[in-house]
Amino acid sequence: MRILICEDSALLREGIVRVLQDAGHDVVAALPDASTLTERVAETAPELCILDVRLPPTFTDEGIRAALALRAVQPDLPVLVLSQYVEERYASELITGQAAAFGYLLKDRVADIRDFLQALERIGAGATVLDPEVVAQLLTRRARDERMARLTERERTVLALIAEGRSNQAIAQTLFVTEASVEKHITSLFQKLGLEQDEHGNRRVLAVLAHLEHGDHTPPNGALR
């Protein structure tokens, strides 16, 4: 996979480059800031972009603004955002505002090389992969919502695992249950949240998070492709 990296920390940037190259990926550019990001994306045609949330010169939201700008020009370009901490407002804006492949991971996850590479593969294949901490905080914000209160503890766990980009089979293996049991939990939790099911796990995750984040009681049947 052709990958572009935008990360200000030279140590982390070079470390990610080495990990990706060792795994057989082609790193087409490794940038220290987003000043030339749009031009380099146009020049190198990456299949996935990895962006830090906070980049020079202000180290506030340059990475997020760069990601949003990229998605405005190339809405189908898979993007993975890396953050030191859970930036709830930024996470919500990216998650609920985009329908293409997307990932939001804490930088600590990069240390687990196998999981990091698997997350990249899932994002590159069109999935949405969210860090468990991001999922937990977004869901906690709506914890008082009566719809969330309807979910059992197991259904909440299944919802969080779906949001991490895991397949039904992977969820079943994680919870030591059958796939049929997982499917029943998914059917139940979507019914309780008032959402339509579809065959695309990442679309369902986006719909759930958008629904919970905005408190919209209307099932977004046609809102996501």
Residue 99 binned pLDDT confidence (cut-offs 50, 70, 90): low
Cis bond before residue 57 (omega within 30° of 0): yes
User: Tokens standing for 166?
Assistant: 């895991």
pLDDT, position 58:
83
Q: What pTM did the predictor assign? A: 0.70
Rg (CA), the chain: 17
Condensed to tens digits (0 to 9), the pLDDT of residues 36-78 reads: 999 999 999 999 999 998 898 888 888 888 888 888 888 889 9
> Residue 4 pLDDT more than 90?
yes
Question: Could you say which of 3.40.50.2020, 3.90.1150.10, 3.50.50.60, 3.40.50.2300 is the CATH number of the domain covering 2-131?
Answer: 3.40.50.2300
Q: How far apart are CA 139 and CA 149, in angstroms?
A: 11
Classify residue 108 by burial, with Cβ atoms within 10 Å: 0-12, 13-18, 19+.
exposed
pLDDT at res. 21:
96
pLDDT tens digits, one per residue of 16-33: 999 999 999 999 999 999
Residue range 117-128, pLDDT digits in tens: 999 998 998 888
- Cα gap 26→194, rounded to integer Å: 42
Return the CATH number of the domain spanning residue range 142-214. 1.10.10.10
Please report, as a single letter, which amino acid is at residue 208.
V
pLDDT of res. 225: 27
Hey, where are the domains in the chain?
2-131, 142-214
Query: pLDDT grade, residue 82 (50/70/90)?
Result: very high
Distances (CA, A) of 27 to 90, 111, 176: 26, 19, 37
Share of the chain above pLDDT 90, in %: 37
More confident residue, 210 or 154: 154
Question: CB–CB of 3/32 below 8 Å?
Answer: no
CB atoms closer than 10 angstroms to residue 175: 15
pLDDT at 144: 52
